[in-house]
Structure 1
Amino acid sequence: MSEDPEERARPAVKWLWLLGVMLAAGAAIPAQGRVNAELAAAANDPLVSTLFTYLVGLAIIAPVTLLTRRGRWGLAAVGPALRSGEVSWWHLLAGCLGTYFIFTQGVAMAVVGVAVFSVAVVTGQTIGGLLWDKIGLGSGGPKQLNGFRLIGAALTIVSVLWAVSPQLGSNGGLAWALMVVLPFTGGFVQSAQQAINGRQTAAYGTLLPATLFNFLTGALLMAAVYGGKVLIAGTGEALPTVWWNYLGGALGLIFVGLGAYLITQVGVLVTAMGMIAGQLVGSLVLDIIFPAPGSVIAFATVAGTVLTLVAVLVASLPDIRRSRPR
């Protein structure tokens, strides 16, 4: 069995670097959500935003993977990884899981609001991170769920609730409650996608093939779904001409690729928690620079965001202590 990435000693500067990567990867998620929500609203069709997210991402990652030495070297490692059992054929379909999460952005965010959407996604990501680490879906095999990890996971959910509490309203209603299930399951499924991507990245030695397969399979699935919708109901509204409405795929490359790398370093749970902190930081910056309707910035917003960083440090504490020189 390969060495558990969490058992390797790392200097404190490496942990700071990894934390920075987690924040950057997480910050791309609310930016993508804002872009995709705008495209879905302009086209009056959430399938359009999901489809273009994968088409644009594929248009970027395909030449990067096929035309670089590292990309071709990684693709050459796919066959041996499949034959050895390090990677199963269904791992190559992880991108299909991501289509569901992106679809929930276009469908549920406008109904339940950004705050409730964020809490539901984070809860799903955290519970998923605990489960996938426990069963060893990611790289390095099963990981022990010690007290620090469990406390950190609980603290993450509490801190997100605190951060978005100024925006929580009394919507109620069974239909609204059922709509909340979408982002919860979306976050749960996304954490599985990240775990599988991390497993592939560890097997191939580079994140490029896993990222390419994500966008290729996602694009094929969404092309089939959208094609079926067009046959039944037609194309609908004309596509918007605002160029930044189509940046969802580029932003998706950031958190899919970096997430795959991070899981090989710190596991599914800590990756999910670090990216959650990045989501809150990114949302806070977006609300300051480009405020969305209904956005609220209060003490709880800032304090809850800071607390997510504390939660990540708590969950990582045993590994940080192990990395200190004796």
Structure 2
Amino acid sequence: MATRAKEGNGLDRFNRISAGANVLFHLLFIVLALVCLIPVLVVLSVSLSSEDSIRQSGYHIFPKVFSGEAYHYIAGQGAMIVRALGVSVLVTAVGTALGVLLTASMGFVISRPNYKLKGLLTWIVFIPMVFNGGLVSSYYINANLLGLKDTVWALILPLAVSSFNVIICKTFFKSTIPDGLIESAEIDGASQLRIFFSIVLPISLPLIATIGLFLCFGYWNDWFQSMLYIDNQKLYSLQALLNSLMSNVDALAKNASSMGVSYATLVATMPKESARMAVAIIIVVPVAFAYPFFQKYFISGLTVGAVKG
């Protein structure tokens, strides 16, 4: 009886500690969620505030004086915004599809134990994770050698494949795809391409969703490639446009004035701060709505790639 009483007391003490730890973790995650959410709310609030209230009272979580002039102004510059949105959507869609195909195919190749060049290719993939040739050499290759300057491909190809994603693919295929499955397909006369597209990819949806989400976020949020390789404003993405706005408050007015509108009038009337934040909201909303649909596959793919390595 005494032993059972001690066990009962120990269990009660463990339950109390566990309950306290749960409360602590809940509070921690609430704080972390607020840290992520509050900046978004501030950006949304500024985009819905009047320019005069921003100048007088600064940024707030809730608008002091509600105004939709920033979104109305952006809607009035529809041609520029729609063109930038089209570039972002095109680059994200093509880049994600191409990147997933190239990354998954290379990860599958170096995951096969009987491939003779597996060791060499693994080192070729691993070395860029430690160091690379630098910005100057990358610019020379992409702009001069490959001739990608002022083309959409300059926004796609440099980000299509990363060593980190290839390693994730290798780990996933090595731990998930049985060698016997590949061998049985080879005995039946299937080619490597047939095996890859008909057998490997259909059972690798968590991996595809994970890599696709990484690439989608990378392409959608990228502005650096535009800064390096794009001089033609017609090829600006939404992110490059936002970066231009952040560095030059009159950039939107300059773009619009090139369409025949008075530059002085635009500078005097455009909602500068709220327009910047409105463009930021326009950029964030599509990704925020898309993420929940990929979350299940994203978590599953990361778990397999990390734990079973």
Both proteins in one fold, TM over 0.5: no
- Rg larger in structure: 2
